[in-house]
């Protein structure tokens, strides 16, 4: 009998070529890449190497299946493990196992709020004036144009909510009271939306498909996103969800936690103020520099499927804001030294993050700009140049280091009584290393030997002198 982990049918190129297309698809779909033979030896002997290997990510089909199951569980686990009802007693004696049946997981009211939220932002995209900007060249040589008015949409939303709260038309703390129901509504929307994205991509034979989501393995492509730029008219779904509902919603949920703290204690603590301000700055920065999203891997390479939709709409607002949820019921007193450290880390992180990203974007759009013209560069065979001085001479992904430092400044105001408020900085470290590995792989494929030369000049990955 053959080993369940290594089917003999794919151990030699001739036998691989004899397989039917459906058999090849079945074998690769369960996680076996077809070219398990030595390609160099195959070329020497004149044997065909068969179809190109499927380059799976996230652990392949089995890994993405676990991820799709694990992400919603993570949202629920973080909520149940840290909320005003049960505190954070899952991780500190005396342990208190929460009564899961006592939670309300879904309500039609929460679903209506979610749909109203999405509809509001779509209307703002349509009616507010904005700048139309072309994205990067697509694999078919074309360019898509994107309407950018996210910053004005954000400001108008904040103003409308502030007025409605002040006039008593809404109670912002309701979002804090019903966060679990809102999370469930969002998870369901993401699931239905992902099916729509995948089915519409399969039905539209003329649309441009994304390479990472075109393996032929259904659930893997469902996760990665089959279509590169799904649109309804000129309304780009991926770019809309990338920055607006989840990011702006995250800051609104934070404000709801502050409102809840005020209702309970009659004041908003300094720690809550700092978390709200720091994370608001992060989101405002993203919307102010909205055009920068058009050159990221999410937009240029990845398809729009479960991975991005769930990450943007569900994961970000319901996990990134865990510090504000913790502070809504935890009594944290900050000393002057504590405050100074937090502010210093926040400022240093933003300085690195914005400085590095600004330098990169300026160089891409106008390399003759006085602020980047002095930078030392390395020419490549592609006819482009790689920066080897300034911020990008310190590390190949120096902006990730700034991003991570900012993550620390969001967690540190929570003190050190519980580990759950530090979930984000731990998770984000793993995410950034994984993202850096994806970037490195893509750049090595793009630049070939030039990338090795570049790595010899810029030796560190993320943290100068460390990694």
Domain boundaries, the chain: 1-45, 61-74+105-333, 334-467
Query: Distance between CA 385 and CA 246 in Å, rounded?
Result: 35
What pTM value is reported for the model? 0.83
Please report where in the chains the tokens 């996760």 appear, as a residue: 223
Query: Distance between CA 173 and CA 329 in Å, rounded?
Result: 13
Contact 150, 290 (CB under 8 A): yes
Per-residue pLDDT of the chain (467 residues; tens, 9 = 90+): 333 333 333 333 333 344 444 444 433 343 333 333 333 333 333 333 344 456 788 889 999 999 999 999 999 999 988 887 777 755 555 566 778 888 999 999 999 999 999 999 999 999 999 999 999 888 888 889 999 999 999 999 999 999 999 999 999 999 999 999 999 999 999 999 999 999 999 999 889 999 999 999 999 999 999 999 999 999 999 999 999 999 999 999 999 999 999 999 999 999 999 999 999 999 999 999 999 899 888 998 899 999 999 999 999 999 999 999 999 988 899 999 999 999 999 999 999 999 999 898 889 888 889 999 899 999 998 888 999 999 999 999 999 999 999 999 999 999 988 888 999 999 999 989 988 988 888 888 889 899 999 999 999 999 998 98
Confidence at residue 141, expressed as pLDDT on a 0 to 100 scale: 83
Q: Which long-range contacts (CB under 8 A, 24 or more apart) does 335-342 make?
A: 338/412, 338/413, 338/415, 339/270, 339/274, 341/412, 342/274, 342/409, 342/412, 342/413
Confidence at residue 136, expressed as pLDDT on a 0 to 100 scale: 87
Please give the structure tokens belonging to residue 364: 């891409």
Confidence at residue 217, expressed as pLDDT on a 0 to 100 scale: 93
Query: Comparing C-alpha atoms, which of 423, 377, 386, 376 is closest to residue 75?
Result: 423
Dihedral over alpha carbons 7, 13, 17, 21 (to 10 degrees): 40
- Residue 171 has a CB neighbour count (10 Å cut-off) of 15
* 91 phi and psi angles, rounded to 5 deg: -120, 5
Confidence at residue 403, expressed as pLDDT on a 0 to 100 scale: 93
């Amino acid at each position: 009998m053959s080993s369940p982990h290594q089917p003999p049918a794919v151990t030699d190129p001739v036998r691989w070529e004899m397989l039917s297309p459906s058999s090849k698809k079945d074998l690769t779909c369960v996680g076996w890449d077809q070219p398990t033979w030595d390609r160099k030896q195959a070329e020497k002997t004149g044997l065909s190497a068969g179809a190109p290997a499927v380059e799976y990510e996230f652990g392949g089909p089995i890994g993405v299946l676990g991820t799709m199951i694990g992400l919603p569980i993570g949202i629920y686990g973080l909520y149940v493990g840290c909320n005003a009802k049960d505190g954070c007693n899952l991780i500190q004696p005396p342990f208190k196992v929460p009564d899961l049946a006592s939670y309300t997981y879904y309500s039609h009211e929460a679903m209506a709020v979610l749909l109203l939220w999405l509809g509001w932002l779509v209307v703002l995209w349509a009616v507010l004036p904005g700048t139309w900007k072309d994205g990067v060249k697509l694999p078919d040589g074309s360019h898509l144009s994107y309407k950018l008015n996210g910053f004005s949409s954000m400001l108008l939303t904040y103003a409308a909510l502030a007025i409605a709260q002040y006039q008593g038309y809404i109670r912002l703390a309701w979002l804090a009271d019903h966060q679990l129901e809102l999370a469930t509504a969002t998870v369901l929307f993401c699931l239905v939306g992902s099916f729509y994205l995948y089915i519409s991509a399969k039905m539209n034979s003329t649309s441009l498909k994304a390479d990472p989501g075109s393996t032929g393995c259904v659930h893997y492509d469902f996760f990665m996103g089959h279509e590169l730029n799904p649109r309804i008219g000129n309304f780009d779904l991926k770019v809309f969800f990338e920055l607006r509902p989840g990011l702006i919603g995250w800051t609104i949920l934070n404000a709801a936690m502050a409102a809840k703290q005020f209702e309970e204690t009659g004041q908003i603590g300094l720690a809550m103020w700092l978390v709200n301000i720091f994370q608001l700055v992060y989101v405002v920065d993203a919307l102010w520099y909205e055009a920068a999203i058009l050159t990221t891997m999410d937009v240029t390479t990845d398809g729009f499927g479960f991975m991005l939709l769930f990450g943007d709409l569900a994961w970000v607002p319901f996990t990134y804001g865990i510090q504000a949820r913790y502070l809504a019921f935890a009594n944290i007193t900050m000393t002057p030294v504590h405050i100074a450290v937090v502010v210093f880390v926040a400022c240093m992180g933003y300085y690195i993050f914005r400085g590095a990203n600004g330098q990169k974007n300026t160089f891409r759009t106008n390399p003759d700009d006085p602020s980047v013209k002095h930078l030392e560069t390395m020419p490549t065979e592609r006819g482009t140049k790689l920066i080897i001085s300034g911020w990008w001479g310190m590390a190949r992904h120096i902006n990730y280091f700034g991003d991570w430092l900012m993550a620390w400044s969001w967690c540190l105001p929570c003190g050190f009584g519980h580990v759950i408020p530090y979930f984000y900085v731990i998770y984000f470290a793993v995410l950034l290393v994984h993202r850096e590995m994806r970037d490195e792989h893509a750049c090595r494929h793009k630049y070939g030997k030039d990338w090795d030369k570049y790595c010899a000049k810029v030796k560190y990955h993320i943290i100068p002198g460390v990694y």
